[in-house]
Chains A and B, each alone.
Chain A
């Protein structure tokens, strides 16, 4: 993988060299140091990115389940609230939502995002605002995913639950949602993969996650003005995170596959996962 990137770099350099009088001074040690002996700020950035992504995704799933149940509800006001929520948050840019939720509320004195300390762990207000914005946006998309998942489950399942004396809520919680989860996990994997990368939009409220950290490194100090090496390294970090997530997703899917015909202990191999190569389907 690294070899490939270097080949690309060399080709790009050759192209650039023809057009520019003063050649760009590559400093590849910046690239390698950022990956293998990273500045503590980079590590902090990684931790912050992952934390924000997980928090936002978890809240997004909760909002998504509520949104989906609202949209499928027989109670008209609930349906109306859920539909409006999804309509607004899916219909406007996330960047704009972030600006409104942080600066919009702050400058009008409507709401101020204060730092919060949990067990001596200080969470800056900006991070909270960022998580809120990402979660609200994600919740709108998750509503649609969860709704599709619930609708994919045979209505006979809820009828069977009810015939046994379960209420709608019990039937949803114990019977329908666990089965819907199986349908939801593949698109949910996509959503979290996106979420890991989308955290970089929090640059507009200067939350120092992974991308912003590299921007700062590019702006000041000994690594300044090496955007090519720095952002290549930044890309590698993101790729590492999404790759790890890919493996975790595969693990979760295998866990949820129990009881389905053709379930195996192994699940899709890494070649399937990353390159879409598949062994011919047997008995599926």
Chain B
């Protein structure tokens, strides 16, 4: 097993990573019917860490990501975000399903970026970003507008704030979607194949925004086949296959010298 949690601290010779754990998955299991997609996944993501999750299609990457903010209900194990269980409460040593309000409150702190953007088509770019801060955080309209404006400027779309999603290119839509998630000031951002639905010439603009986020210290879990992003921005790459973590490690090591046969086979196809 390759060492976990390589970052500046371990380079400096400190073995123990003292940064707060933001996402803590323990033996997570998930089945669709009789088909077990996740067969016990344990993973810690620490504050400021950028984790790239790779693996062949059907390996459970997307499912795992969706479990983190409880878009999928898990069948076993636990997931904690910021120390709090997701979707469940502990009651007399047993896990009880949480109330919808409580789940919603936790989701508000977890940004999620979808493969197919899922922007609200009846709202402009600005309104898409303003919606949740107003509805969920209870911000005043002008406060939300100011935040939305600055976030859209940050993703390079200040000239498109009044456009509807249908009037934007795929890359622009995905950047609006990132701004929309950031508007909630999440403690962790989850990206579900954010560039897979994009034309090749638009992938770069989305990755640039994500790299910038990573350099600013955002905690990120990214499911993607963009190995270039992994090399440049990820602290750790996690290889998933058949519902289990096959191996993980810093991108330079894992890409150059994969330990596991399945990782080698996968990387040889994709690199």
Contact = CB atoms under 8 A, between A and B. Distances in A.
Contact of B100 (A154, A167, A258): A167
Interface string A171-211: 00011001100100000000000000000000000000000
Interface stretch (A14-22, A156-164, A216-224, A243-251): A156-164
Interface stretch (B1-9, B110-118, B220-228, B250-258): B110-118
B92 to A, nearest CB: 26
Given A174-B131, A179-B121, A156 B114 contact: yes
Interface stretch (B14-22, B29-37, B101-109, B147-155): B101-109
A168 interface: yes
Contacts of B101: 167
A166 interface: yes
Contacts of A164: 107-108, 131-132, 136, 180-181, 184
Nearest to B107: A165
From B114, B123, B124, B135, name the one whose CB has the most chain A CB atoms within 10 angstroms.
B135
Given A163-B181, A174-B135, 16 more contacts: A154-B118, A156-B114, A160-B119, A163-B69, A163-B111, A164-B107, A165-B107, A166-B104, A168-B100, A175-B120, A178-B122, A179-B120, A179-B121, A258-B122, A259-B122, A261-B166
A170 interface: yes
A120 to B, nearest CB: 39
From B105, B114, B131, name the one whose CB has the most chain A CB atoms within 10 angstroms.
B131
A179 B118 CA distance: 13
Nearest to A158: B118
Interface residues of A, number: 22
Contact of A159 (B71, B121, B165): B71
Interface of B: 69, 71, 100-101, 104-105, 107-112, 114, 116, 118-124, 131-132, 135-136, 164-166, 180-181, 184
Contacts of A117: none
By Cβ-Cβ distance, the 10 closest A-B pairs, closest first, are A165-B108, A259-B164, A164-B132, A160-B118, A163-B112, A156-B118, A165-B136, A261-B166, A165-B107, A167-B104
A166 B105 CA distance: 8
Contacts of A160: 112, 114, 118-120
A25 interface: no
A260 B105 CA distance: 32
Contacts of A258: 122, 164
B106 to A, nearest CB: 8
Contacts of A154: 118
